[in-house]
């Protein structure tokens, strides 16, 4: 369920709407969309479009703002001694003979920073089937003449809807047929000079893998120069060498200049000649100057220069490709050129036929042309048997073999081959990440049955749902106490979660849903289920305000419950809980039987999942107070199990991102809203004098109609450095004067806990009509009667953040408004996307596309994103899904990878630290 392309993503908002013209133009200018046109394997986005509002038809029209490169290189990772790996991942690491290095991504996470929250415990109760064509193609490369068998190619592929549980990947018997070429030193490239070897190593190219992962930035479509020749074009010519000169410019500087004469179509109008004859041929001769420069005394010697000259013989027919620049009439310089000798002029057809011309980025002072030459030599030396991935997987997922993929990415015959090669290499990026994460997760489990169960759960998440009859009676009673019925989204979410809670494997689930969709109550129900089995639940939230709100909400609902002998008790623990009281709580809340931790902020989820819980949060007590016979599979092993983790996402993230971030996370999406919700009317207004006049008029109208207003500010106090920023404290007087008949309140992070609580209480109860607040209200604050929000200096906030803020209104059934006040007109365009009601999933996909995963996730979380050699999450999500399925297949056959020694070796050489840094 992804978007099928860029336009699809922008069109998807609501069916029937045409994409607007500006968007269309913008997307066509966008490099990414060119990439999409070019490479069929790219599918943008990965989150399903969701219909949130009943009957509401709305659409978001977005302008693409930035162009991005579609192939990127990440060559700056740190290196470690492979021997060091054994310390970090002993079970995986096997020492090899003298092979390369691995990538380190250092991560740090401090769980103790977070301010927490509520603790709950019970009292006394514990591609259509692949058409893999076996094609054999001879690739006669003009530069390195490689002959290669292309097996396992497919024109298109469809991922099986439900991967069969029968896997049947042939075990790899041993390492004998697997060549460790990629991790050999670059010094094994035949004929590589020591100097070049040193230069390459200084730039980080220690191994052949590193070198071959210096991918082309893009490919130029080499065109035959038929009509006109413009500077900067990548063109291809066939002509004859007119001269070849080695020129000594100084005692330490020389150059080789080769001039090639070519006949090309004449673009100028055919002139009537004086005698009346016309130039019937319409051709003219041009001269291409190919230069190579040398610095150093020994390159200036006559013998050396003669030898250089001799390499290109006058009269030879050659094919020249590269970037042209006009020198003078009919004379052009060829840069980044490639020159190949042809048998004769007719020999040119093969070469000139649409062959993409790879454009390399330079690296640490090494020129693209030099790198291309070295890479070509490495490719020539590359053996065929370097692929650690078993044949069955290659065939099933329509992948090129690794050998062919490297040839295909560096020297493609056509763009289709480059695309297949790109797909294979992206697949590898994702595959080893998934394999590593799942492998690590399996390692943490005891028995084979558990491991099989876990893999099965990943393959078929839907089979785990526990329907209401299977819920505990406590959970059912709690459900009855709710003042509303659950939406179908909430119901299936809680069924999935309870299904997980019944398994003897710790749950790692991310519950996503748009603002106000009712995630909290789902999490409460999950806590009840755990408490019913005699265990404890901890509910962690990012702000004190939210902790208090959830605490009151929960206590309230518990009071409404008819039951029961042992009503669960609830304690509140926040930063401002007095020491004595907090000790009391801490003592009582020993987490001796903690079974679920709800984390109401996905950003902290990454951290928590990675560092695991500190020892206090582990369930260590065998003397659990479990007395209930209600549910849960209590077993001896169960008592030592790590707690389930349920993270609630504040901003939904696309599935691809979640997979890349967490690998093993289960996702639950609530894709509907409680009935009767009306989309928030959003206006973006420039904060000029007239703008504010209009805003105040709208505010007054709302107040007169009995509404309650949030004013959100980027700062608490006015600052001298940023005088243009409106500040909450400073504005209190202005707003109070402006709306004298109404009461104003103030809420910001520097207020004491009880002051904040009091300010929110007054606003909730209607004692204050206008609440001037900072971002402290962004997450989770729930005042269903709030009817309007004005966000000052809204350009200071990201799109997803504004969506979160806006989510503080529209939580009831009344019509609500949100006014985004932009300080400058230039920021208006970027924010237009918010003017139309749109769900958080969609906005997250747009954010991902426009700003990349780093910006979407924020600094804290994006630090956990692995680095990929070639893959781009925003474009290659579909390949990530395939890689996930493939990793599951492999591990289903061999939990410890013992049957796949080559894969295991490769995994340890890939990014073990990145995986282990978790």
Ligand X SMILES: Nc1ncnc2c1ncn2[C@@H]1O[C@H](COP(=O)(O)OP(=O)(O)OP(=O)(O)O)[C@@H](O)[C@H]1O
Q: Which is nearer to ligand X, 332 or 478 (CB)?
A: 478
Minimum CB separation from ligand X for residue 865, in Å? 23
**The two three-digit tokens of residue 688, written as one number:** 């000029």
Q: For 137-181, what is the HEC assignment?
A: CCCCCCCCCCCCCCCCEECCCCCCCCCCCCCCCCCCCCCCCCCCH
Alpha helices (H) in 183-301, listed in sequence order: 194-202, 208-212
Task: Determine the size of the site formed for ligand X (CB under 6 A).
Answer: 19
**What gap in Å lies between CA 689 and CA 1, rounded to an integer?**
47
Say if residues 409 and 216 touch (Cβ distance below 8 Å): yes
Minimum CB separation from ligand X for residue 695, in Å? 24
Minimum CB separation from ligand X for residue 649, in Å? 8
**What gap in Å lies between CA 908 and CA 918, rounded to an integer?**
15
Q: Which is nearer to ligand X, 519 or 872 (CB)?
A: 519
Q: Which is nearer to ligand X, 225 or 572 (CB)?
A: 572
Report 726-765 residues binding ligand X (CB under 6 A): none
**The two three-digit tokens of residue 326, written as one number:** 């006009």
Q: Which is nearer to ligand X, 521 or 608 (CB)?
A: 521
**What gap in Å lies between CA 395 and CA 153, rounded to an integer?**
8
Report 634-663 residues binding ligand X (CB under 6 A): 650
Q: Which is nearer to ligand X, 203 or 572 (CB)?
A: 572
Residue nearest to ligand X (CB): 518
Minimum CB separation from ligand X for residue 839, in Å? 12
Report 763-782 residues binding ligand X (CB under 6 A): 780, 782
Binding mask 213-252 for ligand X (x = CB under 6 A): ----------------------------------------
Say if residues 322 and 335 touch (Cβ distance below 8 Å): yes
Say if residues 670 and 518 touch (Cβ distance below 8 Å): yes
Binding mask 456-495 for ligand X (x = CB under 6 A): ----------------------------x-xx--x-----
Minimum CB separation from ligand X for residue 484, in Å? 4
Report phi then psi at 116, rounded to 5. -125, -170
> 589: which residues sit within 8 A by CB, 6+ positions away?
119, 121, 536, 571, 573
Minimum CB separation from ligand X for residue 721, in Å? 32
- In terms of Cα–Cα distance, which of 803, 762, 802, 751 is closest to 786? 762
- In terms of Cα–Cα distance, which of 496, 513, 489, 490 is closest to 457? 496
Q: Which is nearer to ligand X, 59 or 490 (CB)?
A: 490
Q: Helix, strand, coil proportions of the chain in percent (round to 5)?
A: 40, 20, 45
Report 512-541 residues binding ligand X (CB under 6 A): 513, 515-521
Q: Which is nearer to ligand X, 303 or 483 (CB)?
A: 483
Alpha helices (H) in 315-414, listed in sequence order: 348-352, 368-381, 391-396, 402-410
Q: Which is nearer to ligand X, 516 or 912 (CB)?
A: 516
Say if residues 913 and 102 touch (Cβ distance below 8 Å): yes
**What gap in Å lies between CA 583 and CA 571, rounded to an integer?**
12
Minimum CB separation from ligand X for residue 359, in Å? 45
In the list 216, 356, 674, 912, the residue contacting ligand X (rule: CB under 6 A) is 674
Minimum CB separation from ligand X for residue 745, in Å? 20
Q: Which is nearer to ligand X, 152 or 518 (CB)?
A: 518
Report 559-618 residues binding ligand X (CB under 6 A): none
- In terms of Cα–Cα distance, which of 399, 434, 394 is closest to 885? 434
Say if residues 204 and 75 touch (Cβ distance below 8 Å): yes
Binding mask 784-803 for ligand X (x = CB under 6 A): x-------------------
**What gap in Å lies between CA 494 and CA 466, rounded to an integer?**
8
Q: Which is nearer to ligand X, 428 or 782 (CB)?
A: 782
Q: Which is nearer to ligand X, 356 or 780 (CB)?
A: 780
Report 496-515 residues binding ligand X (CB under 6 A): 513, 515
Say if residues 865 and 857 touch (Cβ distance below 8 Å): yes
Minimum CB separation from ligand X for residue 519, in Å? 4
CB atoms within 10 A of CB 737: 9
Report phi then psi at 845, rounded to 5. -65, -40
Minimum CB separation from ligand X for residue 709, in Å? 18
- In terms of Cα–Cα distance, which of 59, 106, 61 is closest to 84? 106
How far apart, in Å, do the first and last CA atoms of the chain sit?
A: 29
Q: Is 811 in the site for ligand X (CB under 6 A)?
A: yes
Minimum CB separation from ligand X for residue 205, in Å? 47
Binding mask 111-150 for ligand X (x = CB under 6 A): ----------------------------------------
CB atoms within 10 A of CB 340: 17
Minimum CB separation from ligand X for residue 774, in Å? 17
Which positions lie near ligand X, rule CB under 6 A?
Answer: 484, 486-487, 490, 513, 515-521, 650, 674, 780, 782, 784, 807, 811
């Amino acid at each position: 369920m992804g978007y099928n392309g860029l336009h699809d993503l922008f069109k998807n908002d609501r069916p029937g709407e045409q994409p607007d013209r500006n968007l269309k133009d913008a997307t066509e200018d966008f490099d990414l969309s060119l990439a999409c046109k070019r490479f069929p394997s790219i599918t943008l986005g990965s989150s399903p479009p969701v219909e949130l509002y009943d009957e509401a038809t709305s659409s978001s029209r977005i302008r693409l703002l930035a162009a991005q490169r579609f192939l990127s290189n990440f060559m700056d990772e740190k290196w470690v001694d492979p021997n060091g790996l054994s310390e970090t991942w002993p079970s995986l690491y096997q020492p090899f003979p003298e092979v390369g290095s691995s990538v380190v991504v250092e991560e740090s996470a401090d769980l103790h920073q977070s301010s927490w929250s509520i603790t709950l415990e019970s009292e006394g109760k514990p591609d259509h089937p692949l058409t893999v064509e076996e094609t054999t193609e001879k690739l006669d490369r003009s530069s390195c003449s490689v002959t290669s068998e292309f097996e396992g190619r497919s024109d298109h592929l469809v991922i099986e809807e439900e991967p069969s549980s029968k896997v049947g990947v042939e075990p790899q018997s041993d390492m004998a047929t697997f060549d460790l070429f990629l991790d050999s030193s670059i010094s094994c490239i035949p004929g590589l000079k020591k100097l070049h070897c040193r230069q390459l190593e200084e730039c980080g190219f220690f191994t052949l893998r590193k070198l071959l992962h210096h991918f082309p930035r893009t490919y130029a479509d080499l065109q035959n120069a038929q009509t006109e020749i413009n500077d900067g074009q990548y063109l291809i010519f066939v002509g004859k060498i007119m001269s070849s000169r080695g020129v000594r410019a100084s005692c330490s500087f020389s150059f080789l200049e080769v001039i090639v004469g070519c006949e090309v179509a004449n673009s100028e109008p055919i002139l009537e000649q004086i005698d009346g004859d016309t130039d019937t041929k319409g051709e003219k001769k041009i001269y291409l100057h190919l230069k190579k420069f040398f610095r150093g005394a020994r390159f200036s010697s006559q013998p050396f220069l003669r030898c250089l000259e001799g390499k290109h013989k006058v009269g030879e027919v050659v094919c020249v490709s590269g970037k042209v620049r006009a020198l003078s009439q009919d004379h052009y310089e060829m840069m980044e050129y490639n020159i190949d000798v042809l048998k004769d002029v007719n020999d040119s057809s093969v070469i000139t036929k649409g062959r993409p011309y790879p454009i390399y980025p330079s690296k640490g002072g090494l020129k693209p042309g030099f790198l291309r030459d070295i890479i070509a030599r490495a490719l020539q030396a590359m053996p065929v048997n370097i692929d650690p991935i078993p044949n069955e997987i290659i065939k099933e997922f329509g992948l090129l073999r690794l050998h062919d993929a490297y040839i295909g990415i560096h020297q493609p015959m056509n763009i289709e081959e480059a695309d297949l090669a790109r797909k294979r290499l992206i697949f590898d990026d994702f595959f080893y990440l998934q394999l590593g994460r799942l492998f690590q997760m399996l390692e943490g489990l005891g028995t084979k049955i558990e491991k099989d169960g876990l893999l099965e759960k990943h393959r078929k998440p839907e089979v785990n749902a526990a329907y209401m009859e299977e819920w505990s009676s406590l959970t059912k009673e709690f459900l009855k106490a709710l003042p509303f019925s659950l939406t179908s989204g909430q119901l299936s979410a809680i069924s999935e979660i309870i299904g997980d809670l019944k398994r003897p494997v710790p749950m790692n689930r991310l519950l996503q849903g748009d603002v106000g969709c009712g995630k909290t109550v789902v999490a409460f129900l999950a806590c009840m289920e755990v408490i019913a089995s005699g265990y404890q639940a901890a509910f962690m939230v990012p702000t004190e305000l939210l902790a208090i709100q959830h605490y009151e909400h929960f206590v309230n609902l518990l009071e409404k419950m008819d039951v029961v002998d042992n009503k669960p008790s609830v304690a509140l623990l926040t930063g401002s809980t007095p020491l004595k009281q907090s000790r009391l709580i801490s003592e009582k809340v020993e987490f001796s039987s903690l079974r679920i931790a709800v984390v109401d902020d996905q950003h902290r989820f990454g951290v928590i999942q990675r560092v695991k819980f500190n020892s206090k949060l582990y369930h260590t007590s065998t003397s659990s107070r479990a007395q209930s016979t209600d549910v849960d599979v209590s077993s001896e092993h169960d008592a030592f199990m790590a707690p389930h983790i349920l993270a609630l996402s504040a901003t939904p993230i696309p599935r691809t991102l979640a997979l890349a971030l967490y690998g093993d996370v289960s996702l639950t999406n609530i894709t509907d809203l409680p009935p009767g919700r009306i989309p928030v009317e959003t206006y973006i207004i420039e904060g000029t004098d007239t703008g504010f006049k209009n805003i105040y008029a709208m505010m007054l109208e709302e107040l007169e109609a009995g509404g309650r207003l949030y004013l959100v500010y980027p700062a608490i106090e006015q600052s001298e450095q940023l005088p243009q920023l409106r500040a909450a404290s400073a504005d209190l007087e202005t707003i109070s004067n402006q709306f004298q008949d109404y009461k104003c309140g103030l809420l910001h992070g520097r207020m004491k806990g009880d002051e904040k609580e009091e300010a929110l209480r007054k606003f909730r109860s209607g004692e204050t009509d206008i609440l001037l607040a900072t971002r402290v209200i962004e997450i989770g604050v729930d005042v269903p009667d709030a009817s309007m929000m004005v966000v000052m200096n809204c350009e200071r906030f990201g799109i997803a953040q504004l969506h979160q803020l806006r989510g503080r209104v529209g939580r009831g059934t009344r019509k609500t408004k949100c006014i985004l006040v932009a300080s400058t007109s230039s920021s208006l365009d970027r924010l237009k996307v918010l003017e139309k009601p749109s769900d958080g999933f969609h906005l997250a996909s747009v954010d991902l596309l426009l700003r990349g995963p780093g910006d979407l996730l924020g600094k804290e979380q994006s630090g956990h994103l692995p680095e990929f050699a070639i893959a781009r999450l925003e474009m290659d999500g579909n390949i990530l899904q395939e890689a996930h399925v493939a990793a599951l297949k492999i591990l289903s056959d061999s939990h410890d990878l013992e049957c796949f020694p080559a894969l295991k070796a490769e995994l340890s050489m890939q990014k073990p630290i990145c995986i282990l840094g978790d």
